[in-house]
């Protein structure tokens, strides 16, 4: 029988049940919004799909530094329904065509881009032109050239760009970073990550993920990115060489333009190795383990929306550190609100998103060349370690 934690995690990731507008709306209605702190920052959420309805909007009921200020959607009826649940007036609803008018709304300081990956660059750049700060979902974009344009647009507008790496705000992952830094498991030797889910072409939310032009890389771009990002923040260094291999059944109608399973290896300057896989034809899995010279640190699940667990294995016996659960989306939005108010550092700027894109593209290049080694050393260095900047929060 499935354990409670697994069931909660799978459901929490949105892999077990389709989210509907009424479900999100009734959650919002049932949960009174938290009182805003003075100076709370207004957020416009762009794209009302599964992630926005299921996680982001409910989390905006919990945040004290940030609140929902506007909605941007191609479906006015859906937007009106959600707006009503959040007490927003019709004037706070924009379409993709009227989006640029947000420039005239001083109640919006942050634009949160929650659109298919191929639309991230366009709406990020338009938001900067409107004078807003941008929180953009992962993966940052589809091409490296888009990443460069997004970073340049933010600099030109003198506005902040943060990529929404929720796990860098998630207590189990931040606790793990600290355990690795303090030497509890010895010298890190290997980080192994497994990320995947089952996809369904008839689900519109999966259909674009299975389209190379819109997703920019199928399972690798959608889920593998968590494993790549986790390996980097756990080891606190950057890979200099990667390899990748794919296994894809081209007779499966889901995999006409994207690969299904991609396995990768990354070599780090310290001698540590990162390895992992991403897959769109397996049960929902987001786990990783870090193997040190003395002990192992296991997070399974490690990157779900909730129910993540940590175990230190080996040595004098297994230990399961107790970590208080908080809403990682709320924590992330509260943090970014503080970034734009100049109170906290931006721990995941565009450069951090672009580094993962660089690695994803290097892995895809290796896949295309039968697993050949691809060197990558762009000189990127993380400016802020989430282990010490975000720290472990017990509430948002």
Write out the residues near ligand NDP by the rule CB under 6 A.
47-52, 73-75, 78, 114-117, 137-138, 164, 166, 204-205, 208, 222
Q: Output 46 or 362, the one with its CB closest to ligand NDP.
A: 46
Provide the minimum distance between the beta carbon of 295 and ligand NDP in the complex, in angstroms, as a whole number.
Answer: 29
Q: What is the dihedral of CA 31, 37, 39, 40, to 10 degrees?
A: -20
The two structure tokens encoding residue 393: 């929060």
Q: Would you call the peptide bond into 139 cis, given omega within 30 degrees of 0 as the criterion?
A: yes
Q: Output 117 or 346, the one with its CB closest to ligand NDP.
A: 117
- Token pair 């499935």 is at which residue? 2
Provide the minimum distance between the beta carbon of 372 and ligand NDP in the complex, in angstroms, as a whole number.
Answer: 28
Q: Output 74 or 345, the one with its CB closest to ligand NDP.
A: 74
Q: How many CB atoms lie within 10 A of CB 148?
A: 14
Q: How many CB atoms lie within 10 A of CB 298?
A: 20
Residue whose C-alpha is closest to residue 296's, from 187, 169, 388: 187
- Asked if residues 175 and 234 have their Cβ atoms less than 8 Å apart, the reply is no
Provide the minimum distance between the beta carbon of 46 and ligand NDP in the complex, in angstroms, as a whole number.
Answer: 8
Residue whose C-alpha is closest to residue 179's, from 339, 285, 296, 92: 296
The crossing angle, in degrees rounded to 10, of helices 350-368 and 225-235 is 120
Q: Output 74 or 87, the one with its CB closest to ligand NDP.
A: 74
Provide the minimum distance between the beta carbon of 335 and ligand NDP in the complex, in angstroms, as a whole number.
Answer: 14
Contacts of 312 (CB under 8 A, 6+ apart): 179, 184, 185, 295, 296, 297, 298, 318, 319, 320, 321
226 belongs to the catalytic site: yes
197 belongs to the catalytic site: no
Provide the minimum distance between the beta carbon of 71 and ligand NDP in the complex, in angstroms, as a whole number.
Answer: 8
Q: Output 78 or 296, the one with its CB closest to ligand NDP.
A: 78
How far is C-alpha 250 from the geometric centre of its chain's CA atoms?
A: 28
Provide the minimum distance between the beta carbon of 5 and ligand NDP in the complex, in angstroms, as a whole number.
Answer: 18
Provide the minimum distance between the beta carbon of 215 and ligand NDP in the complex, in angstroms, as a whole number.
Answer: 8
- Asked if residues 153 and 124 have their Cβ atoms less than 8 Å apart, the reply is yes
DSSP state of 349: B
Q: Output 205 or 281, the one with its CB closest to ligand NDP.
A: 205
What are the DSSP calls for 265-310, one per residue? EEE-TTS-EEEEEEESEEEEEEEEEEEESS-EEEESS-SSSS----
Catalytic residue from among 94, 112, 165, 226: 226
Q: How many CB atoms lie within 10 A of CB 27?
A: 16
Residue whose C-alpha is closest to residue 164's, from 76, 32, 66: 66
Q: Output 204 or 391, the one with its CB closest to ligand NDP.
A: 204
Q: Which residue is nearest to ligand NDP (CB)?
A: 49
Residue whose C-alpha is closest to residue 262's, from 128, 367, 144, 382: 367
Catalytic residue from among 138, 165, 197, 233: 138
Residues identified as active-site: 138, 226
């Amino acid at each position: 029988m499935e354990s409670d934690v697994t069931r909660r995690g799978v459901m929490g990731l949105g892999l077990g049940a389709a989210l509907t507008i009424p479900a999100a709306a009734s959650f919002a209605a049932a949960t009174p919004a938290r009182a805003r702190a003075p100076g709370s920052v207004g957020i416009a959420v762009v794209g009302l799909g599964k992630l926005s309805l299921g996680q982001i909007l409910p989390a905006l009921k919990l945040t004290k530094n940030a609140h929902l200020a506007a909605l941007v959607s191609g479906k006015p009826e859906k937007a009106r329904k959600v707006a009503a649940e959040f007490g927003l007036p019709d004037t706070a609803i924009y379409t993709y065509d009227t989006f640029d008018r947000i420039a005239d709304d001083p109640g919006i300081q942050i634009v949160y881009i929650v659109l298919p990956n191929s639309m991230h660059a366009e709406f990020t750049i338009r938001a900067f032109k409107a004078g807003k700060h941008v929180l953009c979902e992962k993966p940052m974009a589809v091409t490296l050239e888009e990443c460069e344009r997004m970073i340049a647009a933010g600099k030109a507008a003198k506005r902040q760009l943060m990529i929404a790496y929720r796990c860098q705000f998630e207590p189990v992952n931040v606790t793990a970073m600290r355990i690795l830094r303090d030497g509890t498991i010895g010298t890190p030797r290997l980080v192994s990550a497994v990320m995947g889910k089952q996809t369904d072409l008839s689900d519109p939310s999966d259909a674009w993920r299975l389209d190379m032009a819109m997703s920019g890389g199928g399972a690798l771009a959608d889920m593998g990115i968590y494993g790549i990002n986790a390996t980097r923040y756990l080891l606190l260094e950057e890979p200099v060489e990667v390899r990748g291999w794919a296994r894809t059944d081209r007779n499966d109608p889901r995999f006409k333009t994207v690969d299904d399973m991609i396995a990768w290896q990354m070599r780090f300057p310290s001698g540590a190795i990162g390895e992992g896989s991403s897959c769109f034809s397996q049960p929902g899995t987001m786990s990783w383990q870090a193997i040190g010279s003395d002990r192992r640190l296991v997070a399974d699940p490690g990157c779900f929306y909730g129910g993540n667990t940590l175990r230190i294995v080996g040595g004098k016996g297994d230990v399961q550190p107790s970590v208080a659960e908080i809403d990682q989306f709320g924590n992330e939005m509260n943090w970014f609100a503080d970034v734009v108010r100049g109170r906290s550092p931006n721990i995941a700027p565009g450069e951090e998103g672009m580094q993962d894109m660089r690695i994803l593209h290097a892995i895809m290049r290796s896949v295309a060349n039968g697993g050949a080694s691809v060197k990558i050393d762009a000189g990127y260095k993380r400016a802020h370690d989430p282990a010490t900047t975000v720290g472990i929060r017990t509430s948002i």
